Amino acid sequence: MVRDRSPISSVAGEGVIVPVMRPCESIALSACRRHDLQMVVLDGRPRVALPEWDEVFRSRGVASTAMKLDGRDRIVDAKMLRAAMQFGMREPGAELCH
């Protein structure tokens, strides 16, 4: 189970980012590349994930949209993506799938 906030982040008032990785030999998170991550959760809401995690988005009531990240299929929180685009934020290697 993933909790929305840790004691440290609750004091600071910031959410916790929880990366979900595929099982592998003990690899430090700092040594991972984006393609190693299966899903990223922020404040208990899925933000970016492999398409097979779409049920998590649906169960949390998070609308998703398809994209490619470094040439690999991903789904992303549609609301977060709209906000990022509204403010001109662009992520290298990210392409929207229309």
pLDDT single digits (tens) 63-96: 999 999 888 999 999 999 888 888 888 888 888 8
Q: Is residue 66 part of a domain?
A: yes
Q: Is residue 19 part of a domain?
A: yes
Q: What is the pLDDT of residues 7-61, one digit of tens each?
A: 333 333 445 555 666 655 556 667 777 777 888 888 889 999 999 999 999 999 9
Q: For residue 17, what are its two tokens? A: 């980012």
Q: For residue 49, what are its two tokens? A: 């994930």
Domain count, the chain: 1
Q: Is residue 52 part of a domain?
A: yes
Name which of 46, 42, 96, 43 is nearest 69 in CA terms.
Answer: 96
Q: Is residue 69 part of a domain?
A: yes
Give the DSSP H/E element, type plus range, for residue 86.
helix 78-86
Q: Is residue 2 part of a domain?
A: no
Q: Is residue 1 part of a domain?
A: no
pTM, entire model: 0.68
- Domain range for 16 is 7-96
